[in-house]
Amino acid sequence: MRQAGRTLPEFRELRQKHSFWEICTTPELAAVATLQPVRRFPLDAAIIFSDILTIPAAMGLEVQFSPGIQISPLVASAADVDRLPVPDAGRSLRYVADALRQTRAAVGPDFPVLGFSGAPFTLAVYMVEGGGRAGFARIKSLMYGQPATLQRLLTKLADAVADYLGMQIEASATAVQIFDTWAGELAPEDFTAFALPAVQRIIERIGGRGVPVIYYINSAGNLLEPMDASGADVLGVDWRVSLAEVRRRLGETRAVQGNLDPGVLFGPPALIAARTASLVEQTKGQGHIVNLGHGVHADTPLEGIAAFIEAVHACAPLEVAP
């Protein structure tokens, strides 16, 4: 998961000198932050250091971290939606492509480096709710009161995300991930009506280039079947649903990513090893990117992270299905 860096002393040192947003938007710094976890731990991939709010910023909204997210002005009406531009990714988001290229130059051609973007619904939540999301009253009000306006916003965001991920693929991303932090807030029928078509629109544009697309939903358990209709190559899920259940509901061969509770890394190494082994057992290690089910807590002990990675590698090499 992204921003594993924030647990590392070397990242905190970088943050002494540069703001979070400065690191995101300065390719040299983003590449340094991307590589910090890879240099410290025997990881099998890196994920570009960035933030899901790059797109709202590129659309001209002001994004602040103080430390909670503050976005202004809020998107509240059809006129607000019409006023938002689809950003020219190659210009206003070029810093992400540059960070990817610099990371690629450092790790060589074969090491996996993942790109990512926020999903349209999640970006819409931030843009409509701003900082506070108590009860998601504003986005729900828009969804049920002015559904066509929300649809237009989601379509515009889908086009922006597709351009953005396409640029990351051209800049050598090995795979790209679409993060839907807030889609799990939706009843299945609303997910299918609003969040899903926007993701499908993205994947229609960027899929099929030989670069896997991972679609992650936080609190995905109620949405597995419609999520599977997204067209993503890999489904990323949080720890609240077991991978055994994902396989039961979506078939034995569905590629998945996840999903240890990041809180487990607070436990002793023996617990971490046991929970990791049980996780891998659920998929028999087939079509499974072993990962946490969400981001690392900032105050996770480094020993816990090391124990998790060691436990993954300790899983007996599994026969790969032909």
Binding site for its own copies (CB under 8 A): 135-137, 139-141, 143-145, 184-190, 219, 221-222, 239-242, 245, 261-264, 266-268, 271, 295, 297-300
Q: Are 311 and 273 in contact (CB under 8 A)?
A: yes
Residue 69 region by backbone torsions, left for phi larger than 0, else alpha for psi between -120 and 50, else beta: beta
| Integer Cα distance of 194 and 177 in angstroms | 19
Active-site annotation holds for 6: yes
User: Of the residues 6, 201, 247, 254, which is catalytic?
Assistant: 6
At closest approach, how far in Å is the CB of 197 from its own copies?
A: 19
User: Of the residues 104, 126, 164, 238, which is catalytic?
Assistant: 126
Helix H segments across the chain?
9-17, 20-25, 27-40, 54-58, 78-83, 89-92, 94-107, 120-129, 137-145, 147-170, 188-190, 196-206, 224-228, 243-250, 269-283, 302-314
At closest approach, how far in Å is the CB of 249 from its own copies?
A: 11
At closest approach, how far in Å is the CB of 138 from its own copies?
A: 9
| Nearest CB to its own copies, comparing residues 137 and 318 | 137
Active-site annotation holds for 15: yes
| Nearest CB to its own copies, comparing residues 197 and 221 | 221
| Nearest CB to its own copies, comparing residues 189 and 319 | 189
| Integer Cα distance of 87 and 140 in angstroms | 26
Active-site annotation holds for 215: no
| CA proximity to 135, closest of 182, 170, 181 | 182
At closest approach, how far in Å is the CB of 235 from its own copies?
A: 15
| Integer Cα distance of 277 and 280 in angstroms | 5
Q: What residues act catalytically?
A: 2, 6, 15, 51, 126
